[in-house]
Amino acid sequence: GLTVPPDAGAVSAAELRERVGQHLVFSIGRGATAARLADWRLALSYAIRDRIVVPWFQTAERINAADRKRVYYLSMEFLIGRLLDDAVANLGLESAAREAMAGLGVDYDALVRDEPDAALGNGGLGRLAACFLDSMSAVGVAGLGYGIRYDHGLFRQSFEAGWQAEEAEDWLAQPHPWEFERPEASFPIGFGGSVGPGAGDAGAWHPAETVIAVAYDTPVPGWQGRWVNTLRLWSAKPTREFELQAFNRGDFLGAATPAVLAETISRVLYPDDSTPQGRELRLKQEYFFTAASIRDILQRFERRHGDLAALPDKVAIQLNDTHPAIAGPELIRLLVDERGLAFDAAFDIARGCLHYTNHTLLPEALERWPAELLGRVLPCHLEIVERIDARHARESAAAGRPSDDGTAILGDGEVRMGTLAFVAARRVNGVSALHTRLMQETVFGGLHALHPERIVNQTNGVTPRRWLHGCNPPLRALLQEAIGDGWVADLDRLEALVPLADDAAFRERFAAAKRANKVRLAPWLAEQAGIELAPETLLDVQIKRFHEYKRQLLNLLETVALWNAMRQAPEVDWTPRVKVFGGKAAPGYRMAKLIIKLINDVARTVNDDPAVRGRLQVAFPPNYNVSMAERLIPAADLSEQISTAGLEASGTGNMKLALNGALTVGTLDGANVEIRDRVGEENIFIFGLTAEEVARRRAEGYAPAACIAASPRLAEAVEQIASGRFSPDEPERFRAIVEDLRGHDRFLVCADFEAYWQRQRAIDAAWRDRAAWTRSAVLNVARCGWFSSDRAIRGYAKEIWNAETEF
Ligand code: 26Y
């Protein structure tokens, strides 16, 4: 074994400086005088990575020696962001790195900012996976993340005359210093073709095409570098580089075509988080990474164990939504066709290992694949799905339930992936208490009745390393002085702040930290969005993907109404606000893109109006991503979490903002409910219809026109949008928004408008009593420790995976 001291990560500034210099010359191939910022960044990254490798090996040795149960987190998305500063902080090398780089004449902060975001995800689901990776290493779970190494992550957003434009993102344009290519860890993955007789009984699938999945490993160091897990991303490669015969004929394009088609599979992240496109390529992506991962998992198991029946004791697989749900049929196929097990035995083993997390109840976001398409791309798997469905029907019948109650996997010519994942999983979880209850009562009601022990809750969490320690240096320093740094690994310790909320001197320092973050943000906001942020201004942020159910439109209508009110009563001493919007819309989501344009048009009108100068400004910095979140969240005073109740499964931005001392204005939706329960009713601004009331209003036949008629300020705002007040060059531009608001309003914007307006005016008033506001903000920080993803991972480990935690 290795004999390396436990403090293998430790290194002096002088030594680190030496290593950086060595890497610059020998890994990058450049001398110090010619080096650009990116060269220094890569050199430092390699030097830091060097400190991670030995603890990485040691972790693997410990897991193997103890024969620990392994946890595999399968996710189409990992929204990681930058890695350098995170790794430096986890290894406790912050001052060494700063000092080393200063000695080389390089600004450490500039170097950190030079790193491109790894944006291999769309939003909440992908960022949750990244937080979970961090926490699995922090608490010492033998975890491994599996995903796709997309050549191009989430598109870059820019605004062209206020309209969203999308450009390809190119994070691999420069070398990615954190990963190790593993050409030996590769699997052939088949598609199409035919199935011989007796599918599911003997090796019967003859795929028509094959691509190779090649592994790339990134070490994931936990807090203090005591435990290092792995993120393994698969890249698609052709079976042969090019067709030599075609090449020799001079058909260069034809020679390259098979390679291009194969590599297409891992080319680009699907930017769509709302509607399954029914697209063959997405299905291939899903199968590609799932099949490679399952084969890798089986291979690792079989190297150390003989009896496949022991698989559920040694392996837990978590499916991040239904995107990897083909894992069930694939695992069964391998056990039956390649290992000779009987179908029922294989099914029981698969169901002993698999677990499924649901992230949405919105019908249009639940994956369904046409059976025809699945049968064409994965003919053997379709037959296995049919056998799973038949067994599920037998179980239903045995339990006295009809087989036609909507709980079948196959129906209307489609495969319902949520049902497939549910049936093939040992545990199914929702991501907040409310969401889990709604799963049990609505979308999964029939299945829940059949398997009442299966659905459990694990409320989401966020990693305190990135989302407090890393992004908020002023607050981190204050916490260090006040309560030490035990909170970084045990976030519940923030509760020690509760008594300090009543200490005026502490509150003043807390407010000073928030002010420092706003001062730090101001020049960036001026450059990005052309607005001036004075530190006394209330900074109000809504940052998340654009979706109608998240109701950026509600916020915007309130902005317009506030603008009108300020113009109509200039003598009033209005509370000054800056409203920040940040987020991307799926490229094909027309309504969301129109709302983005409306926000930009309103922003221009409001920001140019001298009548509200210094009182109301609207900022929409383009290309919201993880790094932008790290800038905005520590500076925010108010967190907008205003989705239609019942539709936001959890939210995690809500947790990050509260943890950084922003007060929430929100509906009783997702994890907002649990935030209120913890911070206390008096420290959060709740408004609007509850999930039950939303359901009732809809059942009664909701008519938005009555709400508009009853609220003159809403009516005025809608009329202004309709009449082209914000789009004089094209008065009809927002017709689709106006017609929807007046006629249908699926997400009950109008029904909640007045309650929202009133709550916002209460917020204006509350901001004026800064001592009371700061007291609430301190209590938000103090009581949000429970929203650590460490707590969430311990919950999964204990209640779902039956896996140990080392720390
Ligand atoms: C089917 C495909 C197009 C698809 C791709 C991505 C469907 C959904 C998604 C992403 C969903 C997502 O991000 N959901 C969010 O997950 C977070 C983590 O659990 C929740 O906090 C958040 O409420 C939920 O919207």
Tokens encoding 109: 């902060």
Is 593 known to be catalytic?
Answer: no
Pocket flag, ligand 1, residue 461 (CB < 6 Å): no
Contacts for 492-495 with beta carbons within 8 Å, 24 or more apart?
492/785, 492/786, 492/788, 492/791, 493/785, 494/781, 494/782, 494/783, 494/784, 494/785, 495/782, 495/783, 495/785
pLDDT at site 214: 98
- Residue of 454, 466, 545, 593 marked active site: 545
- Residue of 41, 323, 550, 791 marked active site: 550
The model's pLDDT over 439-486, given as tens digits with 9 standing for 90+, comes to 999 999 999 999 999 999 999 999 999 999 999 999 999 999 999 999
Question: What residue ranges define each of the domains in the chain, with the CATH number in brackets?
Answer: 1-66+100-109 (no CATH), 67-82+117-460+793-801 (3.40.50.2000), 464-786 (3.40.50.2000)
ipTM: 0.99
Is 376 known to be catalytic?
Answer: no
pLDDT at site 275: 57
Is 584 known to be catalytic?
Answer: no
Is 656 known to be catalytic?
Answer: yes
The model's pLDDT over 232-243, given as tens digits with 9 standing for 90+, comes to 999 999 997 778
Q: Which of 277, 279, 243, 285 is closest to 260 using CA atoms?
A: 243
Cα dist from 51 to 11, 16, 91, whole Å: 8, 10, 8
Query: Do the bridges between strand 228-238 and strand 209-221 make them parallel or antiparallel, or are there none, so unpaired?
Result: antiparallel
pLDDT at site 285: 97
> Which stretch of DSSP H or E encloses residue 751?
helix 749-768
Query: Which residue has the least CA distance to atom 5 on ligand 1?
Result: 273
Residue 572: CB partners within 8 Å, gap ≥ 6? 566
Q: Which of 427, 405, 237 is closest to 318 using CA atoms?
A: 427
Q: Return the ligand 1 atom nearest residue 123 CA.
A: 13
The model's pLDDT over 253-267, given as tens digits with 9 standing for 90+, comes to 888 888 888 899 999
Share of the chain above pLDDT 70, in %: 97
Its pTM stands at 0.97
Query: Which residue has the least CA distance to atom 22 on ligand 1?
Result: 651
Pocket flag, ligand 1, residue 359 (CB < 6 Å): yes
pLDDT at site 10: 79
Pocket mutation for ligand 1, best pick of 74, 272, 273 (most atoms within 8 Å of C-beta): 273
DSSP assignment of 615-641 equals TEEEE--SS--HHHHHHHHHH-SEEEE
Q: CA 580, CA 525: separation in Å to the nearest integer?
A: 9
- Residue of 355, 544, 615, 713 marked active site: 544
Pocket mutation for ligand 1, best pick of 275, 359, 656 (most atoms within 8 Å of C-beta): 359
Pocket flag, ligand 1, residue 646 (CB < 6 Å): no
Tell me the average confidence (pLDDT) per consecutive run of 10 residues in the chain, 807 residues long.
Answer: 48 96 98 97 98 97 97 98 98 97 97 97 98 98 98 98 97 97 96 80 82 98 97 95 84 87 93 66 96 98 96 98 98 96 98 98 91 96 97 93 83 96 98 98 96 98 98 98 98 98 98 98 97 96 98 98 98 98 96 98 98 97 98 98 98 98 98 98 98 97 97 98 98 98 97 98 98 98 98 98 97
- Rama region for 685: left / alpha / beta (φ>0; ψ in -120 to 50; rest): beta
